[in-house]
Structure 1
Amino acid sequence: MVVLIIKPTMKIALFFLVLFHSVLIGNQDPVPSKYNVQEATLCQGDNLVLGDKEIKFKEIISDSRCPKRVSCIWAGEVKVLVEFYQDGKFKGEKVITGSNYSAGNASVTASTDISIAEFFKNSEFVIKKVVVMPYPEAGYKIGEEEYSLQLMVSQALKK
């Protein structure tokens, strides 16, 4: 068994060494990102604007997610209709299906990575995260106007 004894002067020297090291690391220039990431929470009818491109939260098609504090055999799923526009022109629509679940007070969803490049030519757009809120509760029907959609969209930057 090895016992390491650190004298008070060594503690001070070690403290300043760690402090100096953290200052050097903290002052480094950040690595430029290869992606432009935007995140927004949209109410029904709202748009996420990405330059000349837009993603619109059109509507909730269905919501069969298992309510909070209820045991279900199937977790259920939620289907969301989103529309895509470029320069104000309709480019298409897509139904996104997911099953984000409730964990305490937070809604959690798995990584999505839904490519939407088909709607925006010459662009590498990916929907990274989709969370539909609120999460259902037993005995309460969510009104259409209560839903919101949290989206995270990533676009690969050109080199």
Structure 2
Amino acid sequence: MKTILFLLLIIITPVMWAQESQLPDAVVYSSLLQPGELLSIGNRSIKFREVVMDSRCPKEVMCVWAGEAKVLVELFENNILIGERILTVNTGNIPLDFSAGGVSYNLNRILLSPYPSTKVEEPNYELEISITERIL
């Protein structure tokens, strides 16, 4: 009986230590922004400034290349501008991952609407954005 308990103890102890630690708490912030609007993330915020370029293929047209759009965003901390970034929409590359003050930020989703059509109109752009904040 003692041998069985000893063997169980030897087997169970490493299994208990092999448990993975919990991932840090994460908070997801999402918003639909029009030019000039802010998404606040605690004392930090991201502002959709403007659409710099939109060469996405119109819905009604058959294109060889889908095209892309570029948007200018401004990054603020305590309402002070700390940087600007141009983000490319419609590529797999989401270039806004950074850490600051023991917190990491990851851009999960960026979507620009409306999608272009062949009709010539000045679009009222909206930027759908989702950012995950993790305490390190």
State how far apart, in whole Å, the 1-side matches of 2:79 and 2:42 are. Answer: 11
Residue 103 (structure 2) pairs with residue 123 (structure 1): yes
Aligned residues: 115
Shift in CA distance, 113/37, structure 1 to aligned 2, threshold 3 Å = farther
Higher strand proportion (structure 1 or 2): 2
State how far apart, in whole Å, the 2-side matches of 1:132 and 1:99 are. Answer: 9
State how far apart, in whole Å, the 2-side matches of 1:37 and 1:147 are. Answer: 23
- 1:153 corresponds in structure 2 to 131
Secondary structure (helix, strand or coil) at the match of 2:56 reads coil
Is there any run of 5+ residues in structure 2 with no aligned partner, and where? 1-21
Q: Deviations over 1:91-149 (max 9, x none)?
A: 0000001227xxxxxxxxx58363133xx443200111000010001123333xx0010
Scaled by the length of structure 1, the TM-score of the pair is 0.65
Is there any run of 5+ residues in structure 1 with no aligned partner, and where? 1-30, 101-109
Q: Percent identity?
A: 30
- 1:93 corresponds in structure 2 to 84
Q: Within 5 Å, give how 1:1-159 maps onto structure 2.
A: 34-99=25-90, 112=94, 114-117=96-99, 120-143=100-123, 146-158=124-136
Tell me which stretches of 4 or more aligned residues in structure 1 moved more than 3 Å. 110-113
Shift in CA distance, 111/38, structure 1 to aligned 2, threshold 3 Å = farther
Shift in CA distance, 77/111, structure 1 to aligned 2, threshold 3 Å = closer
